[in-house]
Structure 1
Amino acid sequence: MLKLISILSCCIALLGSPKLIADEVLKLGMSVALSGPAKDIGQQLRQGAQLYFEYANNLPDRSHPKVSLMVLDDGYEPARTVVNTRYLIDQHKVMALFGNMGTPTAHAIQAILTHHQLPLLVPFTGADFLRSNTPYPVFNWRASYLDEANEQVRYLVDEQGHKAIALLIQADEFGLTLEKSFRQALTARGLKPKVTARFRRNSADINKALKLIMRNEVTAVAMIGTYQPLSLFIDKAMHRGFKGTFTGVSFTSSTALFAKLTSKSALMISEVVPDPSKCQAQLCELFRSLIHKQNLATSPQIFEGFLNAAIFISALDYCPRPVTRACLPGAMQQVLKKDPTIRTIFGLSDTENKPRVYRSYFQ
């Protein structure tokens, strides 16, 4: 009897030991564009997340579980996101989706997430429908698209004095969400868009939209889309003599857009992270060090993916073992509220919990 008690005590101790906790593997799934005209965005988000997860998994004194991130390509097409999500749930048995990319793609999988009560963590979108009263668990820290629209309208109207502003919009849920946000921001200043032009997602056919906008003699264009069609639009508009100002949201990928432009234009992109080459925090220094070792280019999207992973790993300290999917969103929220490094990076003070919007300018 004493021998049995001794064996049981030994087993209980082992179950709570750091080694066994560290040997646990948490499976996460990610569906992003790794191919197609928006591939640079998805590839950068993947690189950033993997950069931190690999660092955290290989820490010599690691006490948290390892993280396995399976990344699937959806080409920024909602139908493929649905297929990927079902595979990640049924075959890979993921405990959460992590860092998924896009508004229309997130919209397409809502029924699946609701049915499985699968957490959607740090999605790369500022869409309103993911920000409150969702029927499935969600955690996001990035500024909303309304926040970004307000920042762009502040720049265009309050600082630059523009009143004749066009909206160039991707024709899907992404575009509709931001069109609503821009109209709200403009209405607050007694304005409305002079013209609204649309183009298809994953399409470079912006000629009709360009003609419509140029006919209306606007002085600024607020653009909602990805880097490939927007770079074509800007270059063609400049070639036709447009002298005004362009803006775009963080989803566009400023790094990819700036790299594709062949014309010198007045362009501002709203961002949800500070400049990773300049931010002052220990996590920023770690990011720069790891980026240098891996010989990767720095971008806001890689930095965002990196921060997403860092928040996830820190959140594990707030979850009992074994870690359950139900714990993750609340634990990540605790990191956002309490972690001084994260709060410093996001510009949060003791009284301020609203993420800031930053800016990148095309030089």
Structure 2
Amino acid sequence: MKKTGLAGALCALAAALGIGSAHSQILIGQTVGITGSAAATVAESMQGAALYIDHVNAKGGVGGQKVEVVSLDDRFDPKLTLQNTKTLIEEKGVIGLFMTRGTPHTQGIMPLLEQHGVPLVGPSTGAMVLHQPVPKYIFNVRAPYQREVEKAITHLNTLGIKRIGVVHVDDTFGADGLAGAQSGFKANQLDALFIEKFDRAKPDYSAIAPRVAQKQPQAVVFIGTGAAVVDGIKALRAAGVNGQIVTLSNNASGGFVKLLGDQARGVVVTQVFPSERSLNYPVVKEAMQLARARNMTDLTPAMVEGFVSAKVLVEGLKRAGPKPDRAKLHAGLESIKKWDLGGVELSYSPADHSGLEFADLSIIGSDGRFKR
């Protein structure tokens, strides 16, 4: 069946990253929601990763071997994530996994990583369960969600905004973000105005939105993913909620802004990477130059995340030495100490797989761009 629209574009991008090639020399696996509620942001993060990996391959790859990322669509369904991971590890023989998306999705594959000794680089989730206790085979790049939420609540409090509520998805991601919110409230001597949760598979705001409106919040921290958050924000606004909306970095994409449409302006989105327009960071300048060489005029935060995560993956492969395998890649990643990616520094050790500590806030402007 011929695919059209966004799904077709994403499948074409997945093919560009190496699906179906019989000639790769270093196989890396990825299971991610190429379609589904997170597809818009996934597309941009994959584009960012492809910018760097294609650049490396054009120069001869790593140690003369080209890197192929075999990407399978899990439709943002944790069950499919698990199935795809088994396929990638047991059938495709990948030596590492790259940039999964979703907290329950990534949690669900941890036993497989342990069983087969397969490192996962740059999961696109900031869940604390992937940081503490330190999972041996997960190498985070982005900062934890809890740090993002704490920073957002502290910022709101400094602006005199005290009546803050939380709406979160009812899964491990939502619970993790809620824990960060509760820590932020405690640190600022505040109490949550309300806490509401919605079903991940079938979000329904028909009862939540009126309850939130009755509370007249000055701000709502919305913890969820992609289309579910878009629908929730629109429902809150339709119910008469006029307060500040804050969501997390997993929604930091141009696709998210487009889905919000005329409701996008003024929404605060936390960030865990430098601004996509900040030339003060060499890594952003590098990504921008490679993007322009492909006639891509703008970067997005999600593209920066993909680009930076790809740099970490390639660095691990370089340090793995000739003929890298799963164990060598793991050792190569753990050997990274105070490595400057281009204005941001990253270190790993057996006792620390947390990656970067960068956290910031942005607001969506009238032009649909993230402003810091």
1:147 is aligned to 2:147: yes
CA pair 263-145 structure 1, distance change in 2 beyond 3 A: closer
The within-5 A match list for 1:1-363 is 25-59=25-59, 63-134=63-134, 136-158=136-158, 160-261=159-260, 262-263=262-263, 265-296=265-296, 297-335=298-336, 337-340=337-340, 342=341, 344-345=343-344, 355-363=357-365
The CA deviation at 1:347 is 9.8
Could you tell me how far 1:333 is from its partner in structure 2? 4.8
Unaligned 5+ segments in structure 2 are 1-22, 348-354, 366-372
Which segments of structure 1 move beyond 6 Å, counting only runs of 4 or more? none
Letter in 1 for 2:88: L
Q: Distance in 1 between matches of 2:189 and 2:135?
A: 36
Paired residue secondary structure (1:31)? strand
The answer as to whether partners of 1:53 and 1:67 remain within 8 angstroms in 2 is: yes
| Identity rate, percent | 25
Q: Displacement of 1:259 after TM fit?
A: 1.9
CA distance in structure 1 between the aligned counterparts of 2:280 and 2:346, rounded to whole angstroms? 11
SS state at 1:35 partner: coil
Alignment TM-score, normalising by the size of structure 2: 0.82
| CA–CA separation in structure 2 for the residues paired with 1:99 and 1:245 | 31
3-state SS of the aligned residue for 1:207?
coil
Structure number with the higher helix fraction is 1
The residue matched to 1:243 in structure 2 has which SS?
coil
Q: Which residue of 1 aligns with 2:9?
A: none
Whichever residue aligns with residue 313 of structure 1, its letter is V
User: Quick check: 322-331 or 109-118, which moved more?
Assistant: 322-331
Whether the 8 Å contact between 2:24 and 2:68 is mirrored in structure 1 is no
The one-letter amino acid paired with 2:357 is P
Q: Which runs of 5+ in 1 are unaligned?
A: 1-22
When Rg is computed on C-alpha atoms for both structures, the one with the higher figure is: 1
The separation in 1 between residues aligned to 2:52 and 2:140, in whole angstroms, is 18
The residue type paired with residue 144 of structure 1 is P
Q: Give the distance between the partners of 2:61 and 2:90, measured in 1 at CA.
A: 33
Change (3 A) 1:355 1:88: same
CA distance in 2, matches of 1:280, 1:75: 36
Q: CA deviation at 1:62?
A: 6.1
1 CA distance for matches of 2:240 and 2:205? 17
Alpha-carbon distance in 2 for matches of 1:61, 1:87: 25
For residues 78 and 256 of structure 1, the distance between their equivalents in structure 2, rounded to whole angstroms, comes to 22
Q: Tell me if the contact between 1:244 and 1:266 (Cα under 8 Å) persists in the aligned partners.
A: no
Contact kept? 2:142, 2:272, Cα under 8 Å? yes
With normalisation by structure 1, the TM-score equals 0.84
CA contact 1:26–1:68 (8 Å) conserved in 2: yes
Question: Within 2, Cα distance between the matches of 1:212 and 1:291?
Answer: 45
Which has the higher mean CA deviation after the structures are superposed, 102-111 or 80-89? 102-111
Size of the aligned set, in residue pairs, is 334
SS of the counterpart of 1:68?
strand
Give the corresponding residue for 2:18: none
1:271 Cα deviation after fit: 0.7
- 1: distance between equivalents of 2:45 and 2:79? 20
